[in-house]
Amino acid sequence: MSGSPTSERERVRWLTMFDGLRPFAAARLRADVLAGITLAVVSIPEVMGYTKIIGTPMITGLYTLFLPVVAFACFGASRQLVVSADSATAAIVAAALIARSFTPDTPRYVELTIAIALVTAAMLLTARILRLAFMADFLSRTVLVGFLTGVGVQVALGQLPDMLGVSGGGHGLLQQLSFTIGHAHQAQLSTVAITAGVLGIIVGGERLARHVPAALVAVAGAIALSAYFHWDRTAIALVGNVPGGLPHVRLPHLAYADALMILPVAFSCFVVVIAQSAATSRAYAQRYGDRFDENTDLIGLSLANLAAACTGAFVVNGSPTKTAIVDSAGGRSQWSHLTTAGVVLVVLLFLTRPLSLLPIAVLASIVFLVGMRLIDVRGLREIRTARPREFTLAIVTAATVVVFGVEEGIIVAVILSLLQHVRHSYRPHVALLLRERSGHWHLDDPASARMVEPGLVMFWFGADLFYANVEFFIANVRRLIRQSATPIRWLVVDARAITDVDFSASRALVELRQDLAAHHIELGLIVVSTRDEDEREDVGLIGLTDVSRIFDTREACVAAYLERTRAGS
């Protein structure tokens, strides 16, 4: 039995590859390759720094820029999105495992980070099968800004001990911060000097010469000085041995008990991955007029995390900062990202030995600056100016991350986003509709009790009607009647924003109609002109009033009211 055309097309979509690489434009290849080299130069020090956040060997950061990048380039849909290590997901994993009393950079700890990447990959694939990509829309930008700001604060402050050469401090960010401040007088001057030099090179370089890879200059310079002055024989902490060669590709073992334990951690990563990746991919697709297919991106993200797990790395995510780097360097397709993977391959094969001489303070300084960049001061300021109430949600989310942890923060972020969405439906915008002399319509405060014509009130309700908000709707209507200085003859509801009315709301509306009739007020409706009678019945509008009181436009309603008024007089 042959499938339908739709199911056939869906099977083809499942098998589609290289969307981010096609159409191939030879004229653009040089620009894409140069952008890929730029990405590698900037990102290699960053991903090595991310291993300090998550607590795994430094080589695992380089692994995230190799096969995971190739996997998304081949199977994802976005032409711009860069998928590799990310500070937010790294912080989630580290905070969760440390809270469960696991020690970073131990075989058991690394094994669990790999398992989390594997479970996250399975969740992403499940989301694609069930077509759940829309879940990305339920983590609002407001709460995401707050979450990433909290992560930035936690990541930045967490690097202070290594930047000062102060060890110890107990568990949790606040305990570590208190310990570091209390023992700041024990800071190693040599480590502090390295930290100051790295920060000066990166910050100064970015301001004076933006096209120079300042972080790479700092790393290369520190390695050269370490080799020349034999810092391995001093008290300066170094990275130590970094194994070279290709990663060993193997399917990680995942015990059932471990899967249950890490399930909440993987789900937190899953939420951040789909939200951050979808937002970044959508933004760049709209900028260049490319196709945005979040479901296909889920396949690419799933396989990228599977590749990370199979090569001993950790969770990877769509990175807004790395995507912006490629874009600013002129890259317009996944050919840039394949170039980056090629550069990383060369580093893995030939250049890992010098990395063993790198001072830990250098990586801590790089990660500190990454954390500071996550603190979105401009975004918070814009939210506070435009929506003060939403600004409070962002601050609450950020504070939760800083005080309680990243895993708790993502839970709060999801809950606040859902509550924010429910609140918009529970207490939607209500207004009176008024017509200006020019003929244009505008929304007015219901407290004004103004009428379109003497005796004619038009009421706007900005959401579907359901059991939770129908009383709010009715209360506003009755308030209009009480506050009106002139008797109301017609109360017309502009219902074009009301696409659905549940059973509870429809019963309440019938009672409202009877109450209006007792006060000699006729109920009218303005509905979308394309609705037929069956569609009106589906949304619970039919039967609320006489058919002659249902209009397609506001102008038609006013004309009918004036004609009725003249006929009555």
Residue 539's pLDDT is what?
A: 52
- pLDDT of the residue at 449: 87
For the CA atoms of 71, 74, 78, 79, what is the dihedral angle to 10 degrees? 120
Question: Which pLDDT score is estimated for 390?
Answer: 87
Give the length of the chain: 569
pLDDT at 406: 81
Tens-place pLDDT, residues 485-530: 889 999 999 988 888 888 888 888 888 888 899 989 999 999 865 4
- pLDDT of 141 reads 82
Q: What per-residue confidence (pLDDT) applies to 1?
A: 41
pLDDT of residue 426: 83
pLDDT of 107 over the 50 cut: yes
Local confidence band at 10 (pLDDT 50, 70, 90 cut-offs): very low
Helices (H) and strands (E) in the chain, counts: 23, 8
Residue 8 has pLDDT above 50, yes or no: no
If one compares 406 and 34, the residue with the highest pLDDT of the two is 34
Judged against a pLDDT cut of 70, whether residue 14 lies above it is answered with no
Read off the pTM: 0.77
At a CB cut-off of 8 Å and minimum separation 6, what does 393 contact? 142, 143, 146, 416, 420
Q: Where are the domains of the chain?
A: 29-168+175-422, 430-568
Task: Report residue 185: phi and psi, to 5°.
Answer: -70, -15
Average pLDDT (547-560) is 88
Question: Hey, which residues does 433 pair with through a beta bridge?
Answer: 443
Architecture of domain 430-568 in this structure: 2-Layer Sandwich (3.30)
Structure tokens at 407: 């895993």
Helices 107-129 and 294-310: crossing angle in degrees, nearest 10, is: 160
Return the ∠ at Cα 281 (arms to 276 and 287), rounded to 5°.
Answer: 130
Average pLDDT over residues 341-368: 93
Has residue 422 got a pLDDT over 90? no
CA dist 20 → 211, 288, 337 (Å): 26, 13, 10
Instruction: Report pLDDT digits (tens) over 133-156.
Output: 777 777 778 888 898 899 889 888
Q: How confident is the model at residue 240 (pLDDT cuts 50, 70, 90)?
A: confident
Range of weakest confidence among 320-324, 355-359, 499-503:
499-503
Start-to-end Cα distance in the chain: 70
Cβ(459)–Cβ(483) below 8 Å? no
pLDDT-based confidence at residue 542 (cuts at 50, 70, 90): low
Q: Position 340: which residue type?
A: T
Mean pLDDT for the chain overall: 87
Answer yes or no: is pLDDT of 459 > 80: yes
118 or 24: which leads in pLDDT: 118
Q: Is residue 5 pLDDT above 50, yes or no?
A: no
